[in-house]
Amino acid sequence: MLEIEGATHRYGELTALDNVSLSARQGEFLTILGESGSGKTTLLRVISGLEQPTEVGKLMIGGENVVGVPPSRRNCTTVFQSYALFPHMSVAENIAYGLVVRGISRDDARKQASKALETVRLPGFEDRRVSQLSGGQKQRVAIARAIVTRPAVLLLDEPLGALDERLRLNMQNELTDLQRQLKTTFVYITHSQEEALAMSDRIVLMRSGRIEQLGTPSELFDLPTSTFAAEFMGFENLLPGVARSVDGNLVSVALSGGSPVVGIAANPAGISQGDLVTIAIRAERLSHSDVSRKQCRHLNTLAGTKIDQRYRGKYSDLDIETAAGKLKVRTWDNASLPEEISSVSWRAEDCIVLPTAANRKT
């Protein structure tokens, strides 16, 4: 449905998009995730045709080669965070505009606009003025306007960014429902990992104009391939170490202080014995043991002492000092927090072994 190969875009000296290739299937919800300035909007503008890329090997939308094709002739539409509605037109006129421009009669266009309004749950809003709408309603109208022309690909640039938290969560669900109903390919930009995880079939994590990792939400969440991806996806604990041996996807690591641990690697071929590595563990995947409970539940155990504890309501966060460095532990068991802690432990599958940037060949 969407295919891009080797897209590069420069603004003067600055490379905003660096040799990006990706594709999206028919009916797929693909999310472009990344921090501000990572090139997300530039990628969307290259797809929609608002930006002419400096270089591109291939750009196909809905089976058509669109290199050099103007935006209005591409089978895609964009929904912006700023809504970009025409203030002097009614809701129905805003939605029907794209159809009228394409030569569809005003009557037919209005009928289709009414149907699109029903789809975005705003039936009966045809004659409202844009100024009479709330932020959430404006965004629904913008979405109705984008889907009314039945594009092969819908591009959405942080469409929920201007909405408050509760409305944003509701709209997340509505958008994924809408996407399943329409079976249109969605390319959705966000800087929020929670939003990406909740909505997407696949996530493209961008970093400085390049694709850092592309995969399903659970692949990005549970098996990051780089320290950057691990940090972005919220791994609280990153510790340096040296690879001792690699066996399948299991990697044995000596942490600083000498403690041996075992973890898994997304890409074990990229790690050799003696390489500097980083292990990444989520705070909630660590278990703590008090002095009375010497038995460790998991494969990896480090001696440690509690240096701080913060009550967060639903859970508590502990800081544990170990020979390998400080570890953050999150526990939901507020009721039985021990006074003292003697060790921290975790399973090998919750311990992600990553090549340290300095080892990387690229």
Binding site for ligand ADP (CB under 6 A): 11, 14, 16, 34, 36-42
Residue 318 pairs with which residues in a beta bridge? 309, 329
**Could you tell me the smallest distance in angstroms from the CB atom of residue 97 to Mg ion?**
24
**Could you tell me the smallest distance in angstroms from the CB atom of residue 40 to Mg ion?**
5
Q: Decide if 33 contacts 203 (C-beta within 8 A).
A: yes
Length of the chain: 362
200-203 contact pairs (CB < 8 A, 24+)? 200/29, 200/30, 200/31, 201/28, 201/29, 201/30, 202/24, 202/28, 202/29, 202/30, 202/31, 203/30, 203/31, 203/33
Report the partner that residue 37 touches, choosing among ligand ADP, Mg ion, none (CB closer than 5 to 8 A by kind): ligand ADP
Token pair of 268 as six digits: 């074990």
* Of 2 and 286, CB closest to ligand ADP: 2
| 280 burial level (CB within 10 Å; 0-12, 13-18, 19+) | buried
**Could you tell me the smallest distance in angstroms from the CB atom of residue 22 to ligand ADP?**
15
Residues 11-70 close enough to bind Mg ion by CB under 5 A: 40-41
* Of 11 and 332, CB closest to ligand ADP: 11
* Of 37 and 268, CB closest to Mg ion: 37
Tell which residue, 167, 175, 214, has the closest CA to residue 198. 175
* Of 40 and 140, CB closest to Mg ion: 40
Residue number closest to Mg ion, CB atom: 41
Report the partner that residue 14 touches, choosing among ligand ADP, Mg ion, none (CB closer than 5 to 8 A by kind): ligand ADP
Which SS3 state, helix, strand or coil, does residue 22 take? strand
Report the partner that residue 42 touches, choosing among ligand ADP, Mg ion, none (CB closer than 5 to 8 A by kind): ligand ADP
Report the partner that residue 39 touches, choosing among Mg ion, ligand ADP, none (CB closer than 5 to 8 A by kind): ligand ADP
Alpha carbon 130 to its chain centroid, in Å, reads 31
Cα–Cα dist 177/354, whole Å:
36
**Could you tell me the smallest distance in angstroms from the CB atom of residue 220 to ligand ADP?**
17
**Could you tell me the smallest distance in angstroms from the CB atom of residue 232 to ligand ADP?**
13
* Of 39 and 241, CB closest to ligand ADP: 39
210-215 vs 58-61, strand pairing mode:
unpaired
Tell which residue, 207, 167, 199, has the closest CA to residue 38. 207
**Could you tell me the smallest distance in angstroms from the CB atom of residue 77 to ligand ADP?**
18
Q: Decide if 155 contacts 76 (C-beta within 8 A).
A: yes
* Of 18 and 319, CB closest to ligand ADP: 18
**Could you tell me the smallest distance in angstroms from the CB atom of residue 166 to ligand ADP?**
25
Report the partner that residue 11 touches, choosing among ligand ADP, Mg ion, none (CB closer than 5 to 8 A by kind): ligand ADP
* Of 41 and 137, CB closest to Mg ion: 41
Q: Decide if 91 contacts 133 (C-beta within 8 A).
A: yes
Give residues in contact with Mg ion (CB under 5 A).
Answer: 40-41
